[in-house]
Structures are given as structure tokens and as C-alpha cells.
Structure 1
Amino acid sequence: MSNTLMTLNSMQPQRSTDYHTALVAIYSVVLLSGTVSLSLMMHAMKDSPLSTTSVAVLNLIFAHFIFLCTVPFRIYYYAVETWYLSSHWCRMVSAMIHMHMYMSFALYVIILLSRLLTFYNRDTQVSSFKRIHAVIASVVVWIIVLVSVPCGILYSYGKGGTDSNGSMLSNQNTSCFKFGKYMENFKEVNYTVSALIIVVALLLTMLQANILRVLYRKYQKKSSSQQDFGAQLKSFFFALIMVICFVPYHIFRMYYLEHIDMEDINEVLLSLTTFNCLDMLTFLGRKTCYLFSPRRCCGNVT
């Protein structure tokens, strides 16, 4: 029995190293491609008129920017496999990936719902929410998020876990992003959030696909030249990004909540959700700013 335990313990570091190599590669690609994507989008929006959609996109850019600032810490940790900074900063960096995912999801829903309302001839409701209201709401939300998240991380995130004997779990000084054991008291919340994201993402994608079907039947071969079709097509790509990046992870997460020993696999799947940082490319469309030339402007956000 003791020999078996020794064998399993000797295999664990190698398995973790393999996962860490994959995570370094994934986060490096996300950091590079996400930075390029945000740079192109900021250049594209420089001369774009302010609208409710563009305000939502600016919020999305800001959410991506905050997360990308924490990615180098993840890359460094998975490369050296040792955390040299404080445990508070470890929890902060760990929480940012979840904040980024949930903020992105909320903004996707706002963008898609605004397009759905516009399509179903409820323009009065959309236009009544003026641009200044959107800006004020964005500022208020970000103030709340940027104040409440650090406080929540400081006082509760990654704390309060117990082992199988009911003893309090101790923090490890040289490891980070190992908080699966602390989720025991939040299983119901995690199940609810994961189920909600899966259902909403699939529902909005189906509604957006139906809109494209209706518009294509209306315009036929002229669809590509119609502004409303192009706008709804971009929304459909947003919905696809939401499904591809978020749904697989949350399906696995519902299984992971009962199998915390699969924490390494959960980390890899969680890292794949960050590829939604490339969502800005959907707004660039066919007039993509190439060669980073300031004279080659992209089309406006519609």
C-alpha cells in the first residue's frame, strides 16, 4: 500500500508539469493575440460615433485589458512553478479570470439583447436608453466592481475551506491557483451560475441564428451588402464566441464540483475561456486595419 502511494506521489509532479506547459502556451497566445486584438479595436473605434453598442464594446475592451494585465503573472508562475508574491496577490490574480469571464458574459448578453430588441421593432425601448445613461451606468458598475471585488477577495476568496476531517485548510506559500478545495460551501451557487450561463448562451445563439435566417430569406444574395444583416452577423459571432468559450467549461465545471481532484484539467479548460479576448476581431469586419497604418481606417462599430 505504501509503495502504491509513493508511486502516485512521484507521478503527480510530472502530471502538473505537463499541465503547466500547456497553460504557459495557452496564456502566451492569449496575451499576444489579445493585445493585438484590443489595439486594432481601439484604432477602429477612434472615429466611431458613440452609441449604446459602442459603450458596451468599450466596457468589454476595459474588461479584457484588466485581465490581460494579470496574464504575465500566470505565465511566470506556470513557467517556474513557484509563487514568490503574496497570497493576497495570488487570490487577486486568480479571481480576475473569473471576473473577466462573468463581466464578458454580461456584456455579451447586453449587446445581443439590444440587437434582438432592435430587430423585433422595439427601437423606442432601445433609443430611450440614451448614450449618456449608458456611460453613467458603465461608470457606476465599474466602480462597484473595482471596489467590491478586491474586498471580497481579501476577506473571503480562497478562505474558509475544510478538509475531509473538518479541519481548516492552510494556505501554501509557494503554490497558487489551487482553490478548488475551498468551493465546498459554494456548490449550489456554482451549479446555478453554470446552468444559467449554459442556458442563456444557447438560447441567445438560437435566437440570433433565427434572425440571420429571416434576414437571409428577405435579402437573399444581397444580404452581404445590407447593414442590418452585417450587424446581426457580428452579433451571431459574439453568440458563437460565448458558446465556444464558456459553455464547454461550465459543463465540465458542474462535473468538477464533485471531483475536485481534477483541478489541473479544470485550470486548462478555464484558460481556454480567455480566448474570448479575440472577440474584438468580429467588430473589425472586412475593413480590418492591416499593417497598423494610421491612414487605413476600419469601419465604424454598428
Structure 2
Amino acid sequence: MDSTPINTNSTVTTPAQNKSMGKADFEEKEYHTLLTIIYTAVLIIGTASFSITLYFMKLRTSSSTSIAVINLIFAHLIFLLTVPFRIYYHVTGHWRIGMAFCKVVSSMVHIHMYISFGIYVVILITRLLVFYRNSEQLASPRRIYPQVASAVVWLIVLTIVTCIITLTYGNSNKERETVYNHQQCFKFGNDLNHISRVINYVVSTLFITVAILLTGLQANVLWLLYRKHHQCCTVQQEFGAQQKSLNFALIMVVCFIPYHIFRLYYLQHPELQNLNEVFLSLTTFNCVDMLTFFGRRTLLVCFPGKAI
């Protein structure tokens, strides 16, 4: 009597498992599609904002604000150069450029966010000091302060973020297997150890607190100027300058706070790393900051001949 050998190593998937695998695959496709749309929009808007900013910077004189703007332009430019690689990955669903470059591209979105945040803080504090000290000459003789502050922001962010990304992300065996076997990138949720979580808790809390505090102070400045000048406030140069500062504060609130609020939850639920990447991608829309900074002149460039 012939006997058929039984393969004990074979695995049989149940209908429930097949349904779960299909759902996970569908969610992964949604994840890549959504991020492709977001980063494509960021690349288009960011490039337009960068071009318009360069046009206007030719007409501006040196000041503490223009120094900060130049730093923002440089931060946006470096980040935008890495966006096509993110789009390529989310379109193809595979990463074939190596783990080292994956870390570089992954770190740039964080470096961009932290540097932008630091420069926003420098701009807002400088404008607040000008207002509360009631001195129009504060920014001129002490122009070196914003330069030093910007340099410190770059040094701190580049040092800390680079060390964390290089020494922590992608170093576990599980993460290396994910990258090399499945050709995936930006999947570092399993590398969040206790120290990384503590650092992230502190940073996210700091972001939320500082953004809300500076937004409140900037809104108070505009309210005081409105009470002082009433209907004539819109023609006051000081009011216009403080209004641009409020735009930076609102960009921090809209682009950065939602991500950091969610991150406080994500740190205890690393399985939500796809959703965390979506929230992180939304922070990159701060590339529109220059469009709000130049205000009506942006519309004049985009729509020449129109009465605005």
C-alpha cells in the first residue's frame, strides 16, 4: 500500500488569515498612494515658493529677518532635493538605494522640521523683543544675534538628529531584514528604545508648548496694535511686520502640533508607524511659509495685471 508523505513544514492559511493579509496589503497600498500625493504636492508647492522667494530676495536689504529667511530657504532647498526619492519609493513600493541613503533621506524630513521650527522661534522672539522694548534699532546694531542664533540652530539640529538616526535607526536585526529582504525604507518603529522614547517625549512636548506660547504672545501683540490704531492699523508698517510673524506662528501650529500630538501616542504604539509617516509628511507643508511672508506681492507675481 502506497503511503503519501506528509509535509510537516507546510503552512496552511485559513480564510481569516487570508482576509487579514489582504487587508494589510490594501492598507499598505493606501499608505503609499497617500504619501505619493502628499509629497508630490509638497514638491510642486515648495518649488514654487522657493522660486518666488528668490525673486523677492533680490529686492530686499540685509536685516535680521532676511537672514532668517535665507536660512529657511536653504533648509527648504535641502529637503526638497530629497523629496523625489521619497516619491520614487512610494510609487514603486521598493527601496533599492541602500540603507545608508535611506537614513539620509529619512533624517532630512526631521532636520527640515527642527531647523524650520528653530528659525521660526528666532524670528518670533526677535519681533517680540522689538515690540515690547519699543526700539526700532534693536535689530540693526545687534544683527549678529540672529546670525549666531541661526548657526546654533543648524549645529544643534544636525548634530543631534544625525547621531540619533545613524546610531539608532535601522541597526536592529529586524530592521535590517526588513530593508534588505523586503526593500523597504522609513520603517524604523521597532528601533524606538527607552532612551529614544524619552527624547521624543521631551521634544514633542517642547514643540507643542513653545508653539502655543509664541502664538499666544504674537496674537496679543496684534491685539494691542489694533487697540492702539483701530481701523488704521492695516496701514501701519509695524502691524504688517507683526502680522507676518503671526503667520509663522500659525504655520507652526497647523503643520507641527498635530504631528507631535499624535507622536506622543505613537511612541507607545509603534505598530502605527505608517500613520506616523503620514502625520510626519504633513509637517512638510510648512514650505509655504515664504508665500505668506511676502503676502500680497506673491499674488502680484502669480497673477500679473490683476488688481489685488
Fold match by TM threshold 0.5: yes
Q: How far, CA to CA, are the matches of 1:161 and 1:255 in structure 2?
A: 23
Match of residue 179, structure 2, among 162, 172, 175: 172
| TM-score (ref. length: structure 1) | 0.87
The residue aligned with 2:89 is 77
CA contact (8 A) 1:92 1:153 kept: no
The residue aligned with 2:58 is 46
Instruction: Work out whether 1:115 is the aligned partner of 2:127.
Output: yes
Q: How far, CA to CA, are the matches of 1:161 and 1:223 in structure 2?
A: 58
* Alignment of structure 1 residues 186-265 onto 2, 5 Å: 186-265=196-275
- Shift in Å at residue 8 of structure 1? 1.8
Evaluate the alpha carbon distance shift between residue 60 and residue 224 of structure 1 in structure 2; reply closer, same or farther with a 3 A threshold: same
Evaluate the alpha carbon distance shift between residue 14 and residue 116 of structure 1 in structure 2; reply closer, same or farther with a 3 A threshold: same
Larger radius of gyration: 2
The AA in structure 1 aligned to 2:250 is L
Match of residue 184, structure 1, among 186, 189, 193: 193
| C-alpha distance after superposition, 1:24-71 (max 9, x if no partner) | 011001000110001101111112110111101110110011000000
| TM-score (ref. length: structure 2) | 0.86
SS of match in other structure, 1:172? helix
Over 6 Å off, 4+ runs: none
The AA in structure 2 aligned to 1:11 is K
The residue aligned with 2:142 is 129
- Shift in Å at residue 137 of structure 1? 5.9
Q: How far, CA to CA, are the matches of 1:203 and 1:145 in structure 2?
A: 22
CA contact (8 A) 2:247 2:293 kept: no
Evaluate the alpha carbon distance shift between residue 291 and residue 227 of structure 1 in structure 2; reply closer, same or farther with a 3 A threshold: closer
| C-alpha distance after superposition, 1:192-213 (max 9, x if no partner) | 1000000000010011111111
- Shift in Å at residue 143 of structure 1? 6.6
Match of residue 268, structure 1, among 263, 278, 283: 278
Deviates more, 1:232-241 or 1:116-125: 116-125
Match of residue 156, structure 1, among 158, 162, 167: 167
| C-alpha distance after superposition, 1:80-113 (max 9, x if no partner) | 0000101100010001000100000000000000
CA contact (8 A) 1:95 1:153 kept: no
- Shift in Å at residue 128 of structure 1? 4.5
Please list every run of 5 or more consecutive structure 2 residues that lacks an aligned counterpart in the other structure: 1-11
The AA in structure 2 aligned to 1:172 is V
Q: How far, CA to CA, are the matches of 2:263 and 2:100 in structure 1?
A: 25
Q: How far, CA to CA, are the matches of 2:117 and 2:79 in structure 1?
A: 14
| C-alpha distance after superposition, 1:226-270 (max 9, x if no partner) | 000000001011100000000011000000001111111111111
The AA in structure 1 aligned to 2:233 is S
Match of residue 100, structure 1, among 104, 112, 120: 112
SS of match in other structure, 1:20? helix
Q: How far, CA to CA, are the matches of 2:211 and 2:164 in structure 1?
A: 27
Evaluate the alpha carbon distance shift between residue 114 and residue 234 of structure 1 in structure 2; reply closer, same or farther with a 3 A threshold: same
